[in-house]
Amino acid sequence: MSSRIRARGAKTTASVHTVRIPRQRGSRGADPFVVVVPERPSLTCEALAVVGGWLWRSRRTLAPTGLAVLALAVAALLHVIAWWSGLLLAPTAAGPLVWLLVMQRRRPATGSVLVWRIGLAALTSSALAWFAVAAGFGPLAGALELWWLLTLITAQSAWLIIRRTR
Mean pLDDT in order along the chain per 10 residues (166 residues): 51 60 64 72 92 92 93 95 93 95 92 91 95 94 93 94 84
Q: 37 phi and psi, to 5 degrees?
A: -115, 115
For position 11, what pLDDT does the model report?
Answer: 52
Taking the C-alpha atoms of residue 149 and residue 140, their distance in angstroms, rounded to an integer, is 11
Q: 116 phi and psi, to 5 degrees?
A: -65, -40
For position 137, what pLDDT does the model report?
Answer: 95
Torsional class of 109: left (φ above 0), alpha (ψ -120 to 50), beta (otherwise) = beta
For position 17, what pLDDT does the model report?
Answer: 67
The structure's pTM equals 0.69
Taking the C-alpha atoms of residue 128 and residue 162, their distance in angstroms, rounded to an integer, is 21
For position 39, what pLDDT does the model report?
Answer: 80
For position 29, what pLDDT does the model report?
Answer: 61
Give a three-class secondary structure readout of the chain.
CCCCCCCCCCCCCCCEEEEEECCCCCCCCCCCEEEEEECCCCHHHHHHHHHHHHHHHCCCCCHHHHHHHHHHHHHHHHHHHCCCHHHHHHHHHHHHHHHHHHHHHHCCCCCHHHHHHHHHHHHHHHHHHHHHHHHHHCCCCCCHHHHHHHHHHHHHHHHHHHHHHC
For position 16, what pLDDT does the model report?
Answer: 63
Closest by alpha carbon to 139, among 76, 68, 80, 87? 76
